[in-house]
């Protein structure tokens, strides 16, 4: 604060000197040293009037708030505009006060004051650059940086890096596909060629880091460029999309590491805001598993649509508490409540539904870790099957309008107990829908990047520790989405629900896990199998080489949203299902083998992996 105040005082004092000097020079330029006596008598008054008016105008234009060490074209335009307005105000004031001054004096004064005030401010930047060049800084060794994109964003990146030498990043090369820019320089940095030269220039110039500065480019183009960058051994950084740079201004804090989701090249999801608002706005919305990866993102996005009340239900209080605090900061007007409860506790579910009567339920609570659930099938069934049944029956009983189950691609032809339990959960909501006023639907999708327990956090941890990165099988692949992308589509699917559907999200092309591992190693600045080893550990219990998103008998129908498809209801016999579930509940205290065998009967498409392996060996 003291430094800023001192700087403002210095600037005001400098402006006072500039204005008075400009007045005197204007008269001298017109009359020489023989200024008429009539003007000599009024010059002191003019200096006072001119000074007061100029300082007021400059203050109104906020010339004393800018950091002139980093002055740019915007600041220059602001100085010129304020000087012109000040001169016009002076002219009008002198006319009102009947102080006769020749027009040429006004024009010269305007020129001189504008020049002096601009020069004073630009001198801050010139002195700072000279100080950097002459005195240097604490950085002993610079990293050489290549900028991809020689447009406005690239220029901003170069300027920011030059203005912040303490970062230790020196822009030495730029790449752009525009032939008109190739061979020229941008802020002193040469533009060498198009993307096909990325690897060559990186090697020739010994580049350490590459910054992709193309915030307005389509995701598919960014992905193609990043694939070229991956051929180098450089650390990769990027700018966020233009829609994230709300005010269009970029600073060094916006430059971030390239993330694995950038390599997916998927375009932002488009949702029908009007359609979504109709079923969420001014409604009581319950999110089970609200503290988890999917549940918490559901809460964040639901909060945007102004629900009457948001209920965050989770058994784990720490995550729920952190989400609660986050929503308080970002949505202070939101009426939200955290409910610590287990979906397996039927009396507690009854009490919650009776008290709050939620209009919409997003059921995200589930045990989802495949290997852990293979070892603990009882818990998988209690939570994923009977927990879902509890919440669904309460929704039916207490008049919930819409119930959205978060399902998984592992429910299709499951080979593990987790997938089998999620398929039973789908059967429950399809059967309930046929006998209820509540619209029950499921949304099925694959893996989400960065979710709790997913491979990305595991790989990052292994890379930090120097490897090896462990992959179960060289051919294993999975469908991937980002968490926000998946949740936006879940919310949109909920808006399209008529009841009984299983919505299937377009996950794009499946990705080999080993390719994901190699990309993540490269993004961390290492060479796969050279700096960081990749080890194959073998498939885990219940793990498939590939996942499916649809059972054959479900069929597939397009919806009005290009990324959402719908499978027709294939199960509606609620009475039979209840009997089967009653039998399942009775044998929960029995052996795990008995549970698995009964799940095979309940889910005909369930083929436990260990039996498939046993049959193959036999």
Residues annotated as catalytic (active site), given as ranges? 410
φ and ψ at residue 331, rounded to 5 degrees: -135, 70
Query: CA 424, CA 596: separation in Å to the nearest integer?
Result: 13
Query: CA 534, CA 467: separation in Å to the nearest integer?
Result: 8
Bridge partner residues of 566 (DSSP): 503, 557
- Quick one: tokens of 286? 């319950």
Pairing mode, strands 511-512 and 502-505? unpaired
φ and ψ at residue 614, rounded to 5 degrees: -65, -40
Query: CA 586, CA 538: separation in Å to the nearest integer?
Result: 35
Whether 107 and 90 have beta carbons less than 8 Å apart is answered as no
Give ∠ CA 20-24-27 in degrees, rounded to 5.
145
Which ranges constitute the DSSP H helices of 266-387?
A: 273-280, 293-303, 317-330, 346-356, 370-375, 377-380
Query: Is the peptide bond between 468 and the residue preceding it cis, with omega within 30 degrees of 0?
Result: yes
- Quick one: tokens of 174? 């730029």
Which of 441, 454, 157, 508 lies closest to 279 in space, CA to CA? Answer: 441
Query: CA 482, CA 488: separation in Å to the nearest integer?
Result: 10
Whether 411 and 422 have beta carbons less than 8 Å apart is answered as yes
Residue 303's SS3 state is: helix
- Quick one: tokens of 418? 């987790």
Query: CA 401, CA 407: separation in Å to the nearest integer?
Result: 19
Query: CA 409, CA 479: separation in Å to the nearest integer?
Result: 9
Query: CA 462, CA 289: separation in Å to the nearest integer?
Result: 28
Give ∠ CA 139-143-146 in degrees, rounded to 5.
140
Exposure letters 87-110 (e unless 16+ CB within 10 A, then b): bebbbeebeeeeeebeeebbebbb
- Quick one: tokens of 567? 């499978």
- Quick one: tokens of 488? 């936006």
Bridge partner residues of 337 (DSSP): 311
Query: CA 193, CA 183: separation in Å to the nearest integer?
Result: 7
């Amino acid at each position: 604060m003291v430094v800023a105040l001192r700087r403002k005082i210095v600037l005001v004092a400098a402006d006072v000197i500039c204005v008075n000097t400009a007045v005197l020079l204007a008269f001298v330029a017109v009359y020489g040293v023989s200024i008429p006596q009539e003007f000599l008598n009024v010059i002191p008054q003019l200096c006072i009037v001119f000074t007061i008016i100029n300082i007021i105008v400059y203050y109104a234009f906020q010339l004393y708030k800018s950091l002139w060490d980093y002055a740019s074209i915007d600041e220059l335009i602001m100085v010129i505009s304020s000087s012109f307005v000040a001169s016009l105000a002076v002219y009008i004031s002198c006319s009102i006060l009947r102080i006769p001054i020749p027009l040429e004096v006004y024009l010269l004064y305007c020129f001189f004051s504008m020049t002096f005030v601009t020069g004073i401010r630009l001198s801050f930047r010139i002195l700072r650059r000279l100080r950097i060049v002459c005195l240097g800084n604490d950085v002993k060794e610079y990293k050489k940086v290549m900028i991809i994109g020689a447009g406005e964003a690239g220029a901003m990146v170069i300027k920011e890096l030059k203005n912040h030498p303490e970062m230790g990043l020196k822009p030495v090369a730029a790449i752009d596909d525009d032939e008109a820019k190739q061979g020229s320089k941008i802020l002193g940095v040469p533009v060498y060629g198009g993307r096909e030269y990325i690897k060559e220039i990186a090697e020739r110039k010994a580049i350490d880091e590459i910054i992709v500065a193309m915030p307005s480019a389509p995701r598919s183009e960014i992905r193609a460029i990043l694939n070229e960058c991956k051929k180098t051994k450089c650390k990769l950084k990027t700018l966020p999309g233009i829609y994230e740079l709300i005010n269009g201004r970029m600073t060094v804090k916006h430059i971030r590491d390239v993330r694995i989701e950038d390599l997916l090249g998927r375009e932002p999801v488009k949702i029908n805001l009007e359609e979504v608002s109709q079923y969420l706005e001014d409604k009581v919305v319950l999110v089970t598993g609200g503290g988890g990866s999917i549940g918490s993102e559901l809460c964040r996005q639901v909060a945007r649509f102004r629900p009457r009340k948001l209920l965050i239900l989770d058994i784990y209080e720490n995550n729920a508490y952190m989400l609660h605090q986050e929503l308080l900061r970002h949505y202070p007007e939101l009426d939200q409540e955290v409910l610590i409860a287990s979906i397996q506790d039927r009396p507690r579910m009854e009490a919650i539904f009776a008290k709050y009567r939620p209009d919409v339920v997003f059921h995200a609570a589930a045990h989802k870790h495949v290997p852990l659930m293979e070892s603990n099938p009882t818990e998988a069934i209690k939570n994923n099957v009977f927990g879902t049944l509890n919440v669904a029956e309460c929704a039916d009983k207490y008049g919930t309008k819409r119930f959205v189950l978060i399902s998984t691609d592992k429910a299709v032809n499951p080979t593990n107990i987790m997938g089998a339990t999620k398929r039973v959960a789908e059967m429950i909501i399809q059967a309930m829908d046929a006998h209820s006023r509540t619209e029950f639907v499921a949304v099925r999708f694959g893996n989400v990047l960065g979710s709790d327990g997913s491979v990305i956090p595991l790989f990052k941890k292994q890379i930090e520790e120097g490897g090896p990165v462990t992959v179960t099988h060289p051919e294993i692949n999975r469908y991937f989405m980002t968490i926000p992308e998946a949740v936006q589509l879940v919310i949109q699917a909920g808006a399209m629900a008529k009841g009984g559907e299983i919505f299937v999200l377009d996950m794009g092309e499946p990705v080999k896990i080993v390719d994901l591992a190699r990309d993540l190693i490269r993004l961390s600045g290492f060479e796969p199998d050279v700096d960081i080893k990749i080890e194959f550990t073998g498939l885990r219990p219940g793990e498939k080489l590939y996942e499916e998103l649809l059972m054959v008998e479900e069929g597939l129908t397009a919806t009005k949203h290009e990324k959402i498809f719908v499978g027709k209801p294939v199960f509606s016999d609620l009475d039979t299902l209840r009997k089967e579930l009653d039998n399942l509940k009775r044998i929960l205290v029995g052996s795990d083998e008995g549970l698995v065998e009964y799940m095979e009967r309940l889910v005909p498409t369930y083929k436990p992996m260990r039996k498939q392996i046993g049959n193959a060996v036999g």
